[in-house]
Amino acid sequence: MKDLLFKMADDALIIGHRNSEWTGLGPILEEDIAFSSMAQDKIGHAQALYTILHEEFGEPSPDKLVYERDEKQYRCCHLVELPIGEYDFSLMRHFLFDHAEFLRYQLLANSNYERLAALSKKITGELKYHLLHADTWLKKLGAANEESRARLQSSLNEAYPYALGIFEKSDEENKLIKEGIFAGEEKLQQLWLEKIEPVINAVGLKLPSKKTEPALGGRKGFHTEHLQPLLDEMSEVYRLEPGAEW
């Protein structure tokens, strides 16, 4: 159970941090605001999940969990760790990640673990707007011109193995399935594919081969070279005076 909560919270925190890197840099003002707003939403979701870990599973406070763990203790997937790159890459990652995230919360809205089910119901209403944003821009840019389509396709090819890494299984997964807590990564991946493939096809892009090797390891604490620098930056002020009251 803790494992599921940690991977969800860590994914949300890290993608939230990456989204926030667009603040002030968006290609147009609306996108600057959109990525900043999604950052705020996702970091809020992470905080709510860390709060459950703290209150129900005896883990340290959300602040400590965020600022005092090193990369080995993080359970996020590699997709969220990657630098923002150019706008087309951030958009494609946002599309691939958010569809999986939304479906995960949708499944968890029916979880036997009531506290997570209640939170998931609250969160899905917010993530709908993230999906609307991702789909709208994908369709707009997919229909724009040759260059925009080529950029999207190249970002899709680059991000896809990492996206498959979202669904890396945990050791305790069968237990969660059996107890009706979570339907499992395999089921989630199948739902995700059914959801994203029609959108990808409709904008004239091609989904990489079904045999693509997923980028695994994140759920077990093995990360890309990009995570630790992000954590260092995120906790820089905190480490100056740990526990300081603001």
Partner 1 sequence: MFTKTRETIWSALETVKDPEIPVISVVDLGIICEVKIENDTAYITMTPTFVGCPAIDYMRNQIKKAVEEIGFEKVEVKVDMNRKWSTNDISEKGKKLLAEFRLSPPPHLEGEVELTDLQAACPHCGSKDTSMNSPFGSTLCRAMYHCKHCGLAFEQFKPK
Segment contacting partner 1 by CB under 8 A, of 83-91, 124-132, 141-149, 201-209: 124-132
Segment contacting partner 1 by CB under 8 A, of 17-25, 119-127, 182-190, 194-202: 119-127
Q: Among residues 72, 115, 175, 239, which is the contact residue for partner 1, using CB under 8 A?
A: 115
Of 76 and 123, which has the nearer Cβ to partner 1?
Answer: 123
Q: Give the type of residue at 61.
A: S
Q: Among residues 4, 15, 34, 163, which is the contact residue for partner 1, using CB under 8 A?
A: 34
Distance CA 167, CA 158 (A): 17
- Our finding on whether 99 is near partner 1 (CB under 8 A) is no
Of 114 and 171, which has the nearer Cβ to partner 1?
Answer: 114
> What's the chain's length in residues?
246
- Our finding on whether 103 is near partner 1 (CB under 8 A) is no
Closest CB 128 distance from partner 1, rounded Å: 6
Of 198 and 229, which has the nearer Cβ to partner 1?
Answer: 198
- Our finding on whether 25 is near partner 1 (CB under 8 A) is no
Of 137 and 162, which has the nearer Cβ to partner 1?
Answer: 137
- Our finding on whether 222 is near partner 1 (CB under 8 A) is no
- Our finding on whether 93 is near partner 1 (CB under 8 A) is no
DSSP assignment string, the chain: -HHHHHHHHHHHHHHHHHHHTTTTT-SSHHHHHHHHHHHHHHHHHHHHHHHHHHHHH-PPPHHHHHHH--GGG----HHHHS---SHHHHHHHHHHHHHHHHHHHHHHTT-SSHHHHHHHHHHHHHHHHHHHHHHHHHHHHHTT-HHHHHHHHHHHHHHHHHHHGGGPPPTTHHHHHHTTS---HHHHHHHHHHHHHHHHHHTT--PPPTTPPP---GGGT---TTHHHHHHHHTHHHHHSTT---
- Our finding on whether 132 is near partner 1 (CB under 8 A) is yes
Exposure string (b/e) for 190-218, b if CB count within 10 Å is 16 or more?
ebbbeebeebbeebebeebeeeeebbbeb
- Our finding on whether 33 is near partner 1 (CB under 8 A) is yes
Segment contacting partner 1 by CB under 8 A, of 40-48, 93-101, 188-196, 212-220: 40-48
Of 115 and 175, which has the nearer Cβ to partner 1?
Answer: 115
Tell me which residues touch partner 1 (CB under 8 A).
30-31, 33-34, 36-38, 40-45, 47-48, 51, 114-115, 118-119, 121-123, 125-126, 128-129, 131-133, 136
